[in-house]
Structure 1
Amino acid sequence: MQGILSIQSHVSYGHAGNSSAVFPMQRMGFEVWPIHTVQFSNHTHYTQGWTGHAFTADDIAEVVRGLANLDVLTECQAVVTGYQGTAEQCSVVADTVAKVKQANPNALYVCDPVMSNPEKGCIVAPGITEQLINTLIPIADVIVPNQFELSQIANMEINSLEDAVKACHKALTKGPKLIIAKHLHGIDKQNFNMMLATKDGVYLAKRPLYQICKEPIGVGDLITSIFTAGLLKGWSPLQAFQHCHDAVHGVLKTTFKSGEWELQTIAAQDELINPSEHFPAELVEQHSESYA
Structure 2
Amino acid sequence: MSGILSIQSHVVYGKAGNSSAVFPLQRMGFDVWPIHTVQFSNHTQYEQGWTGRAFAAEDITELVSGIDNIGKLDQCLAVLSGYQGSAEQCEAVIDTVKRVKARNPEAIYTCDPVMGDPAKGCIVAPGVAEVLVSQLMPMADIIVPNQYELTQFTGLEINNLQDAITACQAALSKGPKLVVVKHLHSVSNDTFTMMMASEDGVWLAERPYLAFSKQPVGVGDLISALFTGKYLSSQNSRIAFEFCNNASYSVLEKTYQLNEWELQTIAAQDDIFFPRNKYKLKRIA
TM-score by length of 1: 0.96
Structure 1 stretch 85-94 or stretch 253-262: which is displaced more?
253-262
Counterpart of 1:290? none
Alignment of 1:39-50 (within 5 A): 39-50=39-50
Say whether residues 1:208 and 2:212 are aligned partners. no
Amino acid at match of 1:3: G
Residue 148 and residue 84 in structure 1: after superposition, are their counterparts in 2 closer, same or farther (change >3 A)? Answer: same
Counterpart of 1:288? none
Counterpart of 1:237? 237
Counterpart of 1:103? 103
Which digits, 9 at most, give the CA deviation of each residue in 1:154-208, with x for residues without a partner? 1121111101100101111111000110110100122110111010100001100
Structure 1 stretch 248-257 or stretch 117-126: which is displaced more?
117-126
Counterpart of 2:167? 167
CA distance in 2, matches of 1:201, 1:117: 27
Counterpart of 2:252? 252
Shift of 1:19: 0.1
CA distance in 2, matches of 1:36, 1:82: 10
CA distance in 2, matches of 1:2, 1:275: 25
Q: How many equivalent residue pairs? A: 285
Taking every aligned residue pair, what percent have the same amino acid on both sides?
58
Alignment of 1:1-292 (within 5 A): 1-285=1-285
- Which stretches of structure 1, 4 residues or more, deviate above 2 A after TM superposition? none
TM-score by length of 2: 0.99
Gaps spanning 5+ residues in structure 1: where?
A: 286-292
Structure 1 stretch 80-89 or stretch 269-278: which is displaced more?
269-278
Which digits, 9 at most, give the CA deviation of each residue in 1:205-261, with x for residues without a partner? 110011112111100000000101001103410001111111011111111111111
Secondary structure, aligned partner of 1:270: helix
Amino acid at match of 2:199: K
Contact 1:12/1:41, CA 8 A, preserved across alignment: yes
Contact 1:112/1:224, CA 8 A, preserved across alignment: yes
Q: CA RMSD in A?
A: 0.8
Contact 1:116/1:129, CA 8 A, preserved across alignment: no
CA distance in 2, matches of 1:82, 1:191: 25
Contact 1:111/1:143, CA 8 A, preserved across alignment: yes
Secondary structure, aligned partner of 2:192: strand
